[in-house]
Amino acid sequence: MDCIFCKIIAGEIPSFKVHEDDATLAFMDINPLTEGHLLVLPKRHVTGLFDTDEETLTATMAAVRKVALALKGSLGIDSMNLLQANGPWAAQSVPHLHFHLIPRREGDGAGMDWPLKPGDMDAIGKLREKISAAGG
């Protein structure tokens, strides 16, 4: 399979590994948004959240928590964004499920905040019905 993260998992491409267990791997992102930015992913190849089985996701989230605590303890941060992209319009560039752990510091300029503007309550209510009826 031509997946860059599967190649990293297989050891065919080097990475700065932070954590590894039977089901997951964590390594430093080579294009860090902030200092300490790293990725946590399952070893099983799944594209994203939509095609992930629960067991794989559970193992990955446990690793996310473990690595987040290591980030907090080692870098002395008290803020972090957890980001996970699904599909091209969400800016997913590597189609292997992964969670970005992005340490945040005062004034780091990394963004990810958006202006809060009131939504259309009728439209929000209709969307809630549609999503809830689909099993949400």
| Contacts to ligand DGP by CB under 6 A | 4, 13, 15, 27-31, 85, 91-94
Provide, rounded to whole angstroms, the least separation between the CB of residue 130 and ligand DGP. Answer: 27
Q: Where are the beta strands (DSSP E) in 3-84?
A: 17-20, 24-28, 38-42, 79-83
Q: Which residues contact 7 (CB under 8 A, 6 or more apart)?
A: 13
* DSSP H or E stretch at residue 55: helix 54-75
In which residue are the tokens 């200092």 written? 35
- Closer Cβ to ligand DGP, 56 or 85, answer by number: 85
Q: State residue 34 phi and psi, 5-degree precision.
A: -140, 170
Catalytic residue among 19, 37, 45, 98: 98
Provide, rounded to whole angstroms, the least separation between the CB of residue 91 and ligand DGP. Answer: 5
- Closer Cβ to ligand DGP, 111 or 119, answer by number: 111
Provide, rounded to whole angstroms, the least separation between the CB of residue 13 and ligand DGP. Answer: 6
Active site residue 98: yes
Positions annotated as catalytic residues are 98
